[in-house]
Every structure is written in structure tokens, then in C-alpha cells.
Structure 1
Amino acid sequence: MFRRFLLTAAAFTAIYAPASAQTFSEALAASKPILESRLRSETNDQAGLQKAEALTWRNRIGFQSGEFNKLKLLVEFEDVRALKDDYNSGINGKTTFAGVGDPEGTELNRLQLTWTPNKAATFIAGRQRITLDDSRYVGNSGWRQDEQTFDAVRGDFKHGKWAVTYAYLAKVNRTQAEAADWDSDSHLINVAYAYSPAFKFQVYDYALDFEGAPANSTNTLGARLSGEKAVSDYKLTYAANYASQKDHGNNPADFDLSSYSLDGGVSRGIVTVKAAYESLEGNGARGFITPIGSNHGFRGWADAFSTAGNKTLPNGLVDRNVSLILTPKSPVTFLKNPALTLIYRDFETENTGQAVGTEWDAMATTDLTKNLSLMLKYADFERDGAGMPASRTKVWVALEYKL
């Protein structure tokens, strides 16, 4: 049904699309290069394992063409090298070391054709980056050196305050080079109504079916409300989300789980304070999962609960956290747009209410030039008793260049 809708919409927009005057040679001349380079040190001092020390270097190169007959072509290759490889990448066999999920590999990261017949519709076909909302359920896992991309067909439609996104996923190119990719027969649909900056309402249905990974085949149906508003010298933000998740496709299990989250923030000048609560239900055998989400940004930067990226315990997980973000004026001219983030998290199981542990996260970022940035990052998870994920401390230092 979704694919029939997409083809019908494509035919309709083609009829009413205005002709493009740009020639093919002009489109080639308007092409823009893609050049990115990220050098990152990561250490993971995890109880019970050898300390991991990784120095990885990721490079991307490609181009985005100009427009020809409402079409644009993007090609991008990606290469990840380990300059220091005393770590378990998940596929290198170094299981006595703690984990750093950045294996070596070279691959085609993106190859996509974009058709924009008019202002109301955009279609993208091919290997592409897809992020929806805050990337909690659908994202590119951009924290890892090898990002997650999708072999997909996507359509975005806008009318007034309404926006609709539909995507069919044929393959998920995950963050472990090509060793753990999933063939897919999955559908994503997200419908949003933006009444005002203070009120945006969305409903979504993500029906995921993965060959070779049946435990991750799920149908997640939910709704999200978010917004922001200026009050005097303050900026207020909020978001609320609820979702239910059931077994789907080739998943042999039978379950019905839910998740909800609430977060709010207030900013004034250089200071932002946020508080958040997220609950992911568990039934003792499995918890609510987010198999294609950008999970590093949620439930702690130490990734203490990560199982195939899902970051949920069988008895579920509750994450209570508060954060402080500072964006001070730089004291020196060669450091631009500095930002400091500090987060405290307290975890417990959703099903049994058992204490899991606490975590401190901290990060400092700054731009060194227009194209070069520096990041220092720290995460310290301390478990609260036997049977919980191992305590660990992680430290990152990264330099990133983007043309």
C-alpha cells in the first residue's frame, strides 16, 4: 500500500513539475566536493577486560552534483583505518580487550539520486542517510566512524503545516563495516503537523523486518509532541513521546512493550539546563529496543547497555538525567564557539525497579577554524551491584575537518 502511494505521488508531481532550464554541463560545473576527515582517540577502561586503546582515522570523499532536470546525484566513499588497534572492534577477534565499535573498512557510504519535482515533494533513491526527529528510532549512528546508512527509497511531502515522510528500507548498512549489515523489508512513515514553534505534533509507524536478525524485527507505533517558546529573556523547550512496540515480520517472539519519555529545558544567555526521564518497558525476557536508532546519544555515552546497539536490559530501563550546557564567549581568538556539557544519569530497571547504576558524562567542543573542530569527551558508568553491566570509563579526543 505504501509503495503504491509513493508511486502515485511521484506520478502526480511529475505531471505538475516545471521544466528545468539548467544543462547537463552546467549541472556538472555546479557540483560540490565532499571531503571529511575525523581522527579520534578512544579509550575504554572496563572492569574485567584489558583496557582498550584505539586511534582511528575516518575519511570520506565524494561529490554532490548540481541540478539537471530536477535531479541531483550524490556519491560518497568512506574509509576507516586503525592507527592503534588495542581494542575489540566486534569483528577483529581481540576479545580480551574492551570494546570500541570502530572496525577498519572501506565502502560506498552513499550513492543517491534526488528528484525534487516541485516545492511540495522530494524523492531520494539509493544508499542514503536517514534521520527522523531526534534520531531516537531512526538515525545514522553518526557517532561511530562508520556511520549507518540505508539502501532505500524515500519520499518527503509538504503542504502548509503538514509534512509526511515515507521510506522503504531494502538494506541497513550498519556501523560494523560490512560484517553485520541487515537485509530489510521495512517501512517507515512519519506524519507531522507544525501548528507553531511551540506546538509540533507527530505520529509515526516504523515496521521493521530484518533477514538474519529476527529478534530486531519490530513494529513501533507512537506519537511525539514538542516545541519551544521565548518568555522574556528565557527560552523554554519541551518534548514528550509515547510508543508501543510489538513483534513483527519474522520475529519468533510474542511481546507487547511500551516506552515513554519527557524532557524539558530552559535557556538564558550562555546557560541551558535540561531534565529528562525515559522509560523503556521490559518483560524479563526482552526490553523495548531501537535497532536502527542513533543510540549513543541516549541512555549514557558509556554505552553500558549496548546489545547490538539497542541499549536496553531484559527488564527494561529507566533513565533519569539532568544536564548543564554552557556556551561562553571564547577567552582566546583561536578557539571559536566553545561549548561545555555536563550530564548526570541515574538508571534502574523498569520491570523490577532494581538500581542499575549511575553515570557522569562530560564534553567540551570548539571550532579551531571554519572547517576544523576539536572535541574532548568523557563518560564514567558505575554499576550498582552484581548482575548489572560492568563499570567502565571512556575518554575521547577528536579532530574533525569538514570542507
Structure 2
Amino acid sequence: MKRMLIQGVVGAMLLCFMTAGWSAAAVLDDLTAALKAGKADVGVLTSFEYKNRDDATSPAKQLSIRTRIGYQTGEFHHVRLYAQFHNLTNAWEEFRHADGGDSDRDLIADPDGNRLYKAYFDYSALPQTTVRLGRQEIILDDARLLGNIGWRLNGQSFDAVTVTNKSITDLTLFAGYVNQVNTIALTHVDLDHFYLINANYAGIKNHHVSVYGYLLDTESKADSARDSATYGVRIVGKPCIVNYAVDYTLQTDFADGEDHDADMLNLYVGATVAPVDFGVGYSYISGQDGDDRPFDTLYSTAHKFNGFADLFLSTNGGGLTPGLQDYYARIGTSFFGVKLSVIYHYFDSYEDDHFDGTYGDEVDVVVVKSISDNLKLLVKYANFMQDEDEGNGFANPAVDTEILTARLEYSF
């Protein structure tokens, strides 16, 4: 279907040129001019990661080099083309991943390989509207439900057609149709349908309000299918020195999936008193409650939330059966061009049918230094400490975990 759609659009464009009286030479001249007016981009990321879980496996060690090379054409009759090639090479691969690796070592989700990470065209003839067709990143709101998983080295993109419209003042309307997800494991997930609707209103001073609905229909026809309908609202504000964010999301049945009756709530309030910004937050994600399945955070950038030790990534796919309550506090500052953030998390479960206790707590430290306009250094450390008390007779599903990551990124 995707190939037929692309062929149909290209054919329609050629037909328009012919009926409008364009000669082949004129079209070729315009195309040549668009290619010459294009712009290339290059990104090279060197990454070292050390991961140690307190279990039977040995620590994981990784040294990788990721290269991305892209090119965007100039405008050709309201059309711009963009393509980006991606390569990941693991120079030091002492870790387990989805494609193999060392089975006795901890998991790092970065198999090496090549891929066409992005390949799309933008059509902008309609007023204040961009239609994008092809392989693309989709990042909506804070990426809590739809994102590019930008922390992992391979990233996540979607084969989709999306429409973004800004014809109404202060209102951005987004609609999308996805039929394939290109995962961080360099695999592909085919979907029957994945419909995306997101409306963001910025007409209230220093505030943004988003409402959204995401309808997922996988290829599975079983009652246990991941198929679901996800609806929510998000409000972000920054009055004076205070900033806050609140979102609530409800998940119900859709297509073939059954027993979806779950929800998620995120709250954050902070303030900035230069050079320090700080805040506290709470995240609630429902788990398995009787026949009702856990909340599924869909295709989110899960690493961004609930601790950088990545103990709760199974929220993507609805695999966190005990549910989650995350109480956290953060503080950040800048000095001599260095950005420093420290975050503390206290993780508690929610459902008592599987584990009724405290998972543990975690300390995260992030240091970012821009060495030049094109070169950036990042160091991130995460230390999760398991609570040793059993909950309601169930063993704690989380274990002590340390992760240290250092990255040097060059881009132009």
C-alpha cells in the first residue's frame, strides 16, 4: 500500500506538470536548480556506555561510532525532498542486544548496522500546511507517547504520511497515518493502521494546551493484540519564574485488542531563580488490574522518563504489570558553559496483584558541555538502588543498576 501511495502521488505530480503545459526541459531545469540549492548535514557521535545490573549477567561495555549523512533539496514546485543515511559501528561490543552479542552480559539496545533512517518529501502548496510522505521521525508534545527514542544510537522512525496545519492563529493541527515502525533494533514492525491526531493551542500567554487521540491497530487479530485507543490532554505553562506541566491520558479498546482500561497522569512544577532551576514531579502509570491490562506508552521515547537507569522501559508495549508511581525532584544549573542536572527518583508500585511494594530509588546526574558550535560533550550517570523489602510476598522485579555513558557529538 505504501508503494502504491508514493507511486500515485508522483504520478499525479507528473500529470499536473503535463496538463499545465510544462515542458520536460523546463521541469528538468527546475529540478536541477532545486538540487543545487540543497543542503547537506552530517552528524558523527562517539559513545561509550558501561552498564552493570546486580544479577547473573556480567557488566556490559560498549564503544560505538554513529554516522548520519543527510541531504535536503531546495524547493521544486512546492516540494522538498530529504534523505538521511545511518550507520552504527560497535568498535567494542561486550554486551547483549536483540540481534545477538554476548549472551552472558547485560543488555544494551544498540546492534550495529546500516539503514535509511529518513526518506520523505514535503509538499507545501496548501496555505500554512505541510504534507510529509515517507520515512520520518514523529515527536509529539514531550515524546511521552510518540517519539524518536533519540537516546538510543539507532533511533526510531516511522513510514507515514503526516499533515501539519497552522492556518488558524496560535493553533497547530497535526494528523498522521503510520503503517510501519522502524525500531531501534534495526527491525520493522508492520501495522494495519495507526492514526494520529494532535492539536496544540498557544493562544493563552505563556501556555500551551494539547489534546490528542492515537488509534493503534496492529496486524494481530487476537484479543491480546496491542490495539488500543489513547486519548489525552496536556497543559504546559510558564507564568513568571514558575513553570508547570500536567497531562492525563486514558486508554481504551480499539480494533481487535481487548481489556484496555488504563490511564496515566504526569505532574510537574518548578521554578527558575538564575542560575538555578529546580522542580518536583509525580508520574502515575496504571498496571494490571484484574483483566484490565497495564497502560501502554505506545512508541514513546521512554528513556526520557522514570529514571535514566531504564528500569521501566516496559511501559512501551504495556509490560509493567505492577504499575508505577514515580516521585522525583530535580535541580539544574550552569557554570563556565557547563550544564549540570541532578535528579532523584523514588519509585513505588501501584497494583498489588503482582508486586505491592517499593521498587527503589535512583540518582541521575547529567553534565553537558558545548565545546564549540558543532561539538558537544555529554556525560550521564544513573544509579538505581533496589528496595530490599518484598511486597505482599512478591519479589521486587527491579534490581540494582548502574549506567555510565559518555558521548562526544559533532554535527554540521
Instruction: Please state which band the TM-score falls in when normalised by the shorter chain.
Output: 0.7 to 0.9
How far residue 28 of structure 1 moved from its aligned partner, in angstroms, is 1.5
The reply to whether residue 362 of structure 1 matches residue 362 of structure 2 is no
- Aligned residue among 263, 271, 275 for 1:266: 271
- Aligned residue among 370, 375, 379 for 1:372: 375
Q: Which residue of 1 aligns with 2:173?
A: 164
How far residue 118 of structure 1 moved from its aligned partner, in angstroms, is 4.5
Q: Which residue of 1 aligns with 2:397?
A: 388
Q: Which residue of 2 aligns with 1:294?
A: 301
- Aligned residue among 233, 243, 254 for 1:248: 254
Task: Check conservation: 1:188, 1:207, Cα contact below 8 A.
Answer: yes
After the TM superposition, which residues 27-66 of structure 1 pair with which residues of structure 2 at under 5 Å, given as runs?
Answer: 27-48=34-55, 49-66=57-74
Q: Secondary structure, in 3 states, of the residue corresponding to 1:303?
A: coil
Identical residues among aligned pairs (%): 28
Q: Secondary structure, in 3 states, of the residue corresponding to 1:208?
A: strand
Stretch deviating more after TM superposition (292-301 or 26-35): 26-35
Q: Which residue of 2 aligns with 1:349?
A: 349
Q: How far apart, in 2, do the equivalents of 1:401 and 1:351 lie?
A: 45
Residue by residue over 1:161-219, the C-alpha shift from the partner in whole angstroms, topping out at 9 and shown as x without a partner, is 222100000101011012x5343510000112222343322210011122369643221
How far residue 288 of structure 1 moved from its aligned partner, in angstroms, is 1.0
Stretch deviating more after TM superposition (151-160 or 239-248): 239-248
Q: How far apart, in 2, do the equivalents of 1:62 and 1:96 lie?
A: 37
The reply to whether residue 239 of structure 1 matches residue 245 of structure 2 is yes
After the TM superposition, which residues 58-137 of structure 1 pair with which residues of structure 2 at under 5 Å, given as runs?
Answer: 58-137=66-145
Task: Check conservation: 2:295, 2:318, Cα contact below 8 A.
Answer: no
Task: Check conservation: 1:304, 1:311, Cα contact below 8 A.
Answer: no
Query: Aligned letter for 1:263?
Result: Y
Query: Aligned letter for 1:367?
Result: S
How far residue 387 of structure 1 moved from its aligned partner, in angstroms, is 2.5
Q: Which residue of 2 aligns with 1:18?
A: none
Query: Aligned letter for 2:343?
Result: I
- Aligned residue among 262, 283, 289 for 2:288: 283
Task: Check conservation: 1:247, 1:255, Cα contact below 8 A.
Answer: yes
- Aligned residue among 188, 199, 214 for 2:207: 199
TM-score by length of 2: 0.86
- Aligned residue among 219, 227, 235 for 1:217: 227
Q: How far apart, in 2, do the equivalents of 1:360 and 1:181 lie?
A: 34
Q: Structure 1: which 5+ runs fail to align?
A: 1-6, 8-13, 15-20, 331-336
Q: Which residue of 2 aligns with 1:181?
A: 189
Q: How far apart, in 2, do the equivalents of 1:103 and 1:391 lie?
A: 24
Task: Check conservation: 2:95, 2:101, Cα contact below 8 A.
Answer: no
Task: Check conservation: 1:305, 1:311, Cα contact below 8 A.
Answer: no
Task: Check conservation: 1:55, 1:82, Cα contact below 8 A.
Answer: yes
Q: Structure 2: which 5+ runs fail to align?
A: 1-8, 10-15, 17-26, 389-394
Q: How far apart, in 2, do the equivalents of 1:184 and 1:175 lie?
A: 20
How far residue 240 of structure 1 moved from its aligned partner, in angstroms, is 0.7
Task: Check conservation: 1:266, 1:273, Cα contact below 8 A.
Answer: yes
How far residue 246 of structure 1 moved from its aligned partner, in angstroms, is 1.8
How far residue 269 of structure 1 moved from its aligned partner, in angstroms, is 1.5
Q: Secondary structure, in 3 states, of the residue corresponding to 2:34?
A: helix
How far residue 263 of structure 1 moved from its aligned partner, in angstroms, is 0.5
Q: How far apart, in 1, do the equivalents of 2:134 and 2:214 lie?
A: 19
Q: Which residue of 2 aligns with 1:3?
A: none
Larger C-alpha radius of gyration, 1 or 2?
A: 2
Q: Which residue of 2 aligns with 1:333?
A: none
Query: Aligned letter for 1:389?
Result: A
TM-score by length of 1: 0.88
Q: Which residue of 2 aligns with 1:325?
A: 332
Q: Report the aligned-residue RMSD.
A: 2.3
Q: 1:287 to 1:68 in 2, by over 3 A?
A: same
How far residue 305 of structure 1 moved from its aligned partner, in angstroms, is 2.1
Q: 1:131 to 1:141 in 2, by over 3 A?
A: same
Q: How far apart, in 1, do the equivalents of 2:253 and 2:96 lie?
A: 31
Residue by residue over 1:113-135, the C-alpha shift from the partner in whole angstroms, topping out at 9 and shown as x without a partner, is 00112552111000001100000
